[in-house]
Chains A and B, each alone.
Chain A
Amino acid sequence: MSVRFEVNGKEVEVEVEPRVTLADCLRHQLRLTGTHLGCEHGVCGACTVIVDGAAVRSCLMLAVQAEGAKVVTVEGLSNDADLTPLQKSFRKHHALQCGFCTPGMITTAHALLSEEPDCDAARVREVLSGNLCRCTGYISIVEAVLDARAAYKQGGA
């Protein structure tokens, strides 16, 4: 089937079998391999992308369901000029070790901070509970997200 949607601000049209998940479509067809696949059944959160403003697991969505949607992947949350405030905060707090879970952490944190820049530590922990880090570096990840709030409050992220 042919499906059209927007990825990171760019209109795309891809030919996919109905059974192809949005995650596999992004990685294989569109070569956006920043989206990682850990469990492929909705547990680990590594494949989190933002669809029409909401963080979702791209392994639990078919590519054909993205028809007409605006999708943002981790690639869409960076730029060549400089690190974003969220990236800077992750760097400052050493919020990544092996880095496999990081794309899901970044997309989830970006969705959260965009909607709730005043969230507290309990809320950050609650939201990130859907993202597994097998290096178990959670404390620094939570600190990085909390520290990035200021940039989102100013609307500059």
Chain B
Amino acid sequence: MKLPPFAYACPTTLPEAVQLLAASDGDAKALAGGQSLMPMLAFRLAHPTLLVDLRKLADLRGIRISEKGVTLGAMVRWRDIEDDARLDTAHPLLKAAIAHVAHYQIRNRGTVGGSIAHADPAAEMPGIVMTCDAEIAVVGKSGARVFQAADFFQGALTTMLEPDQIIVEVRLPPWPKGRRWGFQEFARRRGDFAMAAAAVFYDQDSRGRAMNAHVGAIGVGDRPLRLAGVEDVLNGQVIDDAVIAKAEAAAAAAVDPPDDIHASAAYRRALTGTMVERALKQATV
């Protein structure tokens, strides 16, 4: 369908963008890459009176890598992550997850900030943010604020973001050398939303036992999930086939996915277990 009518603004500074959003009393929407918002408009699921295009805000671009971790500007596109060779070592899990985002043409436009603000429970970036305990920095009319990932996602397409707030950047904690990780996703067709996906990583102590395990699940709840019960199974153990089997069972038991036209709840539960199993096998190779 054709889009509903709206006004359009393309500010050149962040304060100006915040001002435009704040002045619209909740009826304006920030436009980043548009790869989720434009379909929402086409389906008439969103009816903003004003779109505030963030494309001229240079401060929101750029990938910074330091001992403090990886900072992704909100307007960093998937393509920028794919093209950045530093991330092969600075954050291989992020890079692996982004390879699953939609299609070639969409990866040329879609942005980190847009995906997080949209908060689709089956999207990769919110899942990585949750799994990695990332921080989300935002700016609004009452100033700057930082959200922890665990607090930010409130439900399907629902976040803590106020209508006048704009995501500025996402901060992923540092990625130590030698960290074990895996990312597995299942979709019926290449580029479709995940029916289930798992992101895992852990570090190892001097005797090869897992510690600091992080396990995330995507597409099986109303928001990206952390599976603390699965992390408990892994921590303190050498990750072998027996531990992986226990983790698989714990993952399947931990999620409560909905039935829908694509799959039954039972199927999605089993699939979550399988994704965690495969991600852990990937991590141990």
Query: Which residues of A approach B to under 8 Å, CB–CB?
Result: 1, 17-21, 24, 40-42, 45, 48, 54-57, 59-62, 64-65, 67, 108, 112, 125-127, 129-130
Contact = CB atoms under 8 A, between A and B. Distances in A.
Given A112-B104, A129-B189, A129-B191, A61 B109 contact: yes
B42 A41 contact: yes
Contacts of B10: 64, 67
Given A18-B8, A19-B3, A129-B103, A65 B39 contact: no
B155 interface: no
Given A60-B109, A112-B104, A127-B103, 13 more contacts: A18-B8, A18-B51, A41-B38, A42-B39, A48-B105, A54-B108, A61-B34, A61-B109, A65-B34, A67-B10, A130-B102, A130-B103, A130-B106
- Please list the 7 inter-chain residue pairs (A to B) with the smallest Cβ-Cβ separation, ordered nearest first: A130-B103, A18-B8, A129-B190, A54-B108, A41-B39, A19-B3, A60-B38
Contacts of B64: none
Contacts of A126: 104, 190
A5 B4 CA distance: 24
Contacts of A65: 31, 34, 53, 55
A8 B105 CA distance: 19
Contacts of A129: 103-104, 189-191
B5 A19 contact: yes
Contacts of B79: 54
Given A61-B34, A129-B190, A21 B3 contact: yes
A130 B101 CA distance: 11
B104 A127 contact: yes
B262 interface: no
Nearest to A104: B105
A57 B53 contact: no
B38 A45 contact: no
A20 B51 CA distance: 13
Contact of A108 (B31, B104, B189): B104
B106 A57 contact: yes
B55 A24 contact: no
A105 to B, nearest CB: 12
Given A21-B3, A24-B2, A62 B8 contact: yes
Contacts, number: 87
A17 B5 contact: yes
B8 A1 contact: yes
9 contacts: A19-B41, A20-B3, A40-B42, A59-B42, A65-B34, A65-B53, A126-B190, A129-B189, A129-B191
Nearest to B4: A19
B109 A56 contact: yes
Contact of B103 (A45, A61, A62): A45
A106 to B, nearest CB: 13
A56 B105 contact: yes
Interface in B105-144: 105-106, 108-109
- With most chain A CB atoms within 10 A of its CB, the pick from B5, B34, B191 is B34
Nearest to A61: B34
B267 interface: no
Interface in B1-21: 1-8, 10
Contacts of B34: 60-62, 65
Contacts of B5: 17-19
B107 to A, nearest CB: 9
Nearest to B99: A126
Interface in B27-85: 31, 34-35, 38-39, 41-43, 51, 53, 55, 79
A57 B51 contact: no
Nearest to B41: A19
